[in-house]
Amino acid sequence: MGKGNCRRSEAWRWGSLWRRRFGDADEHTLLTPGPLALPKNWCERVNRPQTDAELKALRHCVQRGSPFGTPTWQTATARRLDLEFTLRPRGRPKNDEPKGNSA
């Protein structure tokens, strides 16, 4: 681990996790509540490494600019934010018509 790195997310003094756990009332005012309450094991979840599948899905969402979450949440959020195109495959749709059948 390099100089200045933290082993756990809550040890980074300037991060929101530190503020949530150790910050005073003034520091708590800097945080905006999310759309859902954080789970009780939030600190452990933040510190747990992502699986290969999670990293692949996250990288895909970052590359496409699409919402990251469960498929149902992704679809609803993309619709609400007019980002549905980010969930579709890139490029032109495949033409399933056999070649040479131009009537």
- Two tokens, residue 58: 């996250």
Q: Note whether 75 and 88 are within 8 A (CB).
A: no
Alpha carbon separation from 68 to 39, 49, 50, 65 (Å, rounded): 18, 17, 14, 9
Give pTM, 2 decimals.
0.56
Q: Which pLDDT belongs to residue 35?
A: 80
What is the tens place of the pLDDT at every residue in 5-53?
Answer: 888 999 999 899 999 899 999 998 999 888 888 899 999 999 999 999 9
Q: Which pLDDT belongs to residue 36?
A: 84
Q: Which pLDDT belongs to residue 3?
A: 65
pLDDT at residue 54 greater than cutoff 60: yes
Q: Which pLDDT belongs to residue 100?
A: 65
Q: Which pLDDT belongs to residue 103?
A: 56
